[in-house]
Homo-oligomer: A and B are copies of this chain.
Amino acid sequence: MFVADAPTTSSSAFSQTSDIARRFHAGVAPRDASRCSLCALQALCNPADLNAEELEQVDSLVAEVRSVQRGASLFRANDPFHSVYVLRSGSFKTVVMHREGREQVTGFQISGEMLGLDGIVHGRHLTGATALERSTVCVIPFEPLEDACRAIKPMQQHLHKVMSREIARESNMIMLLGTMRAEQRVAAFLLNLAERYGTRGYSATEFVMRMTRSEIGSYLGITLETASRMFSKLQQDRLVHARGKQIRLLDTEALARL
C-alpha cells in the first residue's frame, strides 16, 4: 500500500508529509476533541485572525464530535435543518434523490470541508450525506453559529467565504457537466481530488478514492461503465496508474490539457 488510508494512519504512508499532516498524526484529535483551538484542521475550517477570546467562543460552537459509520447518514434529504457539520476525518458523499428513486451524487467531501449548508433556505436538507468510510464530524448548531457571526467579523467573513466557495465549486461542476466529455470529466475529477488532498498535507499524486465507480459516474454524469473505461484509457495512455481505488497520477499536466 502506497497511499494514505485515512487521517488516522501512519504518516509514513505519505510521499509528501506537510506540517498539517504531521499535526494530524500527532494524536491531537482524541483528547479535547471539541477544542477548535487545538485542532489540526483549524487552518482549514476557522478564520485565521482570531484572538484567544474569540477562539474560545468558537470552541463552544461545537456541540458535539460525532462518529459516523461507513454507509451511515449524517442527515437525509428532507430532514429538518439544525446544524452544519465540519468533516474532521474520513469522507462523505452528498446525494439528491431523483423521482423514481434514482439518486445523483452532488459532491464528495473530505476532512476540513463543510456539510449541510443546503438546508438553510427551507429549513430542510435538500441533499443527504452518507459516510464513505468511518468518519468523524464536528456538529455545529447553526443558530449559535449565526450569532457568533454577528459578534465576530472574521467569523462572519469566513462563513461567507465557505458558502461562496460552495457556490463556486458548483459552478465549476456545472461547467464540467455542460461542456466536457467523459475522459475530460474523469481527468478533472482526479485533478480536483488531488489538489484537495494536497491542501491537506497528503500526497497530491497518490491516494485512495473512497468512492465506487458507480458513485464517480453518478457524480460526473456518466455511467459506471464509461467511468471505468476512462480510467482504463487514462492508464493505457500513461497519464495515471489506476488499480481499483488506488490512484497514482503520472502526468498531471497532460491530464489538465485534456
Q: Which residues of A contact B (CB under 8 A)?
A: 96, 98, 102, 104, 106, 117-122, 126-127, 146, 149-151, 153, 156-157, 160-161, 163-168, 170-171, 173-175, 177-179, 218-221
Most buried by B among A102, A146, A165, A175: A175
- C-alpha gap A75/B82 in the complex (Å): 35
Which residues does chain B contribute within 8 Å of A164, judged by CB atoms?
Answer: 117-121, 163
Q: Which of B150, B161, B171 contacts A127 (CB 8 A)?
A: B171
The answer to whether A118 and B160 touch (CB under 8 A), given A177-B178, A179-B221, is no
CB of A236, distance to nearest CB on chain B (Å): 25
CB of A61, distance to nearest CB on chain B (Å): 16
Is the pair B163, A167 in contact by a Cβ cutoff of 8 Å? yes
Which residues does chain B contribute within 8 Å of A165, judged by CB atoms?
Answer: 121
In the complex, what residue of chain B is closest to A97 when comparing beta carbons?
Answer: B175
Is the pair B120, A179 in contact by a Cβ cutoff of 8 Å? no
Copies of this chain held together in the complex: 2
Is the pair B163, A96 in contact by a Cβ cutoff of 8 Å? no
- C-alpha gap A121/B164 in the complex (Å): 6
Is the pair A96, B161 in contact by a Cβ cutoff of 8 Å? no
Q: Which of B96, B157, B161, B221 contacts A171 (CB 8 A)?
A: B96
Q: Apart from A149-B150, A163-B167, A178-B221, what 10 extra A-B contacts exist at CB < 8 Å?
A: A104-B174, A106-B171, A106-B175, A117-B164, A118-B168, A120-B163, A126-B171, A167-B167, A170-B171, A174-B177
Most buried by B among A104, A163, A167: A167
In the complex, what residue of chain B is closest to A222 when comparing beta carbons?
Answer: B178
A-B complex: 8 closest residue pairs judged by Cβ atoms: A120-B164, A177-B177, A170-B170, A178-B221, A121-B164, A150-B150, A163-B163, A121-B165
